[in-house]
Each structure stands twice: as C-alpha cells, then as structure tokens.
Structure 1
Amino acid sequence: MALKIEEPSQVDPELMQVLAPPRRRRIVSVLEDIDALSTESLAASVLADEATAAATIVTDDRRRRMHSSLVHADLPALDDAGVLEYDRSSGWVAARSGPAARSARRIVSATDDDDRATLEALAHERRQALLACVVSKGPCDLERAARRVAARERDCEAAAVPSDAADDVATSLHHVHLPKLGAADLLHYDPEEKVVVSVDDLPSAVTALLSPAGTESA
C-alpha cells in the first residue's frame, strides 16, 4: 500500500515543534479526560504515566522536578500555543477548545513517545511540502524537487517559478531540510548525486498527519 499525500499537512508546523517532547503530549492527553487540574495534580498524573511507561519508581524528588518542569517550561509553551489555559497566579490548568487545541489532540492521537524526531522533522512547512512532493510524484533530483516545492509555496505551476527562487529553495533543501528529513528516516537523499527518494515505509504518524483524507492506495 502506498500513502497518498496530495497536499501539505494542515497541522501547524510550529505546533508540531511545541508538541515534539512526549511530556507535552502526555499533558494534552491527561486534560482530554479532565477539564481542569491544579499544577500539582497534573504533575502527579503525568509523572505516573511516565513512570508506568518506563517502569520506574515515583519519588518525591521526581515529583518536585516534574512540577518545576511543568510550571516553568511545558505549561507556558502550551499556553502560548493556544493548546491549554495556564493560570500562573492560581496554579490551575484548563483545557481549551479552539483550533490549536483540536490540532494538538489530533497530533497526540497520531503519535507516541517515539515520534519526537518525526514531529521535529515535520515542524516546517517547506519540509512538509517536500515530503508530499516526493511521496506523491516519486524520486527526483534536487533541482526538480526544489521547483516543485517552490510551486506549492507560490501556488503556481512549476514552470512558472523564477530560476532564482528555485535556486534559493534548492539551497535550503540541500543544506537544511533534506538532512533533517533524512535524519528522521522520512526521505533518502544522496548529497553527491543530489537525488531525493522516498522511504519504503513512512511512520504511522506521518500517514495520519500528512494524508488529509487518511487514505491509502495500492
């Protein structure tokens, strides 16, 4: 079965970056079942999940470190991204229901703890567009990949992309985006031959997040 990816993902790349750490996705998951919690209760729930997954013992020191991580790093980041509401003065955390919160739940449902590298690799619109192009259209050289990506970004035909614009995209793909996707095993790229090839089996998270209809074809 081959994955169909006709358009880049509608999931905000910046939100993928925010939710790349597994702990933040655990926070979203906990708040799906409980609308509001104190930071202490939330820390206890998330720590219990992590301890169960890692088969470790929950200690007072780990509780303190978990709570500190949540209030100083994870909750402010999720609040700023619109995923949840964090009241620093009262120490309460509440679920939200807006677009960012819905997208966050979609990301959480499609991923697991091992998908951090995948989310970080997809946390850029250009990388999403590149992956979509290669998966849907097949292997190609760097020049053709750059022109296709530039065409998506400009919403025009590939032939209408100015040469200097295509060159700029090719440079960024070669030095930044293709190495990132390659490190996450989402694409194969030969920097000597400058040929881009899709991998045989994309992670299920990519299938769920980048296929708008969630469809597959033979």
Structure 2
Amino acid sequence: MGQDSPATEWTATRTTLDGRRRTATPLNADDITWMLDALAHPHRRAALRVLQDAGWLSLDVLARGVLARRDVPATGDDRPPLAAIRIQLHHTHLPKLDAADVITYDPDDGRARYTVEDDRFHRLLDDVAFEEA
C-alpha cells in the first residue's frame, strides 16, 4: 500500500523563482545523464541558446553567436577566438549535440539546427541560461 505500480506515471509540481507552477514527470537516470552531458560545456550551452529559435544556421554565424554570448579568453596562439570557437564547435561540440539528438548538424554543409522536442530539456536549458545571465 502507498506504492505506485510500475506502470503508473506520477507527476511532481514545483514553483519556479518567478512564481509559476510547473508540473512534470520525474526524470530517470538516463534522462538526467544525457541532459547534463549535453549542457556540460559553456560553448554547447551558448550554441543551443543561439540555435533554439533560429532554424538552420551556418557554422560561421553560430560561432559568432557563441562568441557574443561568452566571455572567451584568448586562445594562447595566433588564432583569433572566433576561429578557435569555430574549430571546437565543428570537431567537438556540434557532433556531441548531434549524437545526443539535441541538434541536427551537417558537417559537410557546415549548418546546424535545434531539434530537441523534450520540454524538460527546454526548461533545463532555460534554467541554466537564467543562472548564467
């Protein structure tokens, strides 16, 4: 008595900082892992914020958007920060986000778009962006 059957899905309600109430299903460990992994690096978070409402963006436009959202230190070599961000996005961050089904990235065309439809991911991204602002 007092326990839900495995087939029963329960929800939790919480109040956000701005007073809104949110109802959501609980996250399992796999959900938490992929969301936190996708949002672990500040370049990935910035790229997702740039892509979130943009549709398809070129790698160059995306790199400029990430640079604008981040206080990026000098790279320590002759490359300007924009070139370093572009390389990191192309070789590391965009493929990782694509593999996590958060974006679609075409490395041959050099374009990406935001594709995740999980409302919990959207809320987590919004919460992280609020904390970083």
TM-score (norm 2): 0.65
User: What does the per-residue CA deviation read over 1:124-176, in whole Å, with 9 as the maximum and x for residues that have no partner?
Assistant: 11101100100123321001100100110039xxxxxxx82111100000011
Q: Which amino acid aligns with 1:205?
A: R
1:144 maps to which residue?
Answer: 61
In 1, Cα distance between equivalents of 2:102 and 2:59: 16
- Stretches of structure 1 lacking an aligned partner (at least 5 in a row): 1-51, 54-108, 156-162, 213-218
* Residues 28-177 of structure 1 aligned to structure 2 (within 5 Å): 111-115=27-31, 116-154=33-71, 164-177=80-93
TM-score (norm 1): 0.41
Q: CA deviation at 1:189?
A: 0.4
In 1, Cα distance between equivalents of 2:117 and 2:36: 13
Q: CA deviation at 1:192?
A: 0.3
| Pair member with larger Rg | 1
2:100 maps to which residue?
Answer: 184
Percentage of matched positions with identical amino acids: 34
- Stretches of structure 2 lacking an aligned partner (at least 5 in a row): 7-24, 73-78, 128-133
**Of Structure 1 and Structure 2, which has the larger fraction of its residues in helix?**
1
Q: CA deviation at 1:110?
A: 6.4
RCO comparison, higher one (Cα < 8 Å, 6+)? 1
In 2, Cα distance between equivalents of 1:128 and 1:110: 23
Return closer, same or farther for 1:110/1:147 CA change in 2, 3 Å cut-off.
farther
Q: CA contact under 8 A between 1:181 and 1:187: conserved in structure 2?
A: yes
Q: How much is the aligned-residue C-alpha RMSD, in angstroms?
A: 2.3
User: What does the per-residue CA deviation read over 1:98-133, in whole Å, with 9 as the maximum and x for residues that have no partner?
Assistant: xxxxxxxxxxx8632331222211111110110010
Among residues 164, 187, 193, which one is paired with 2:109 in the alignment?
193
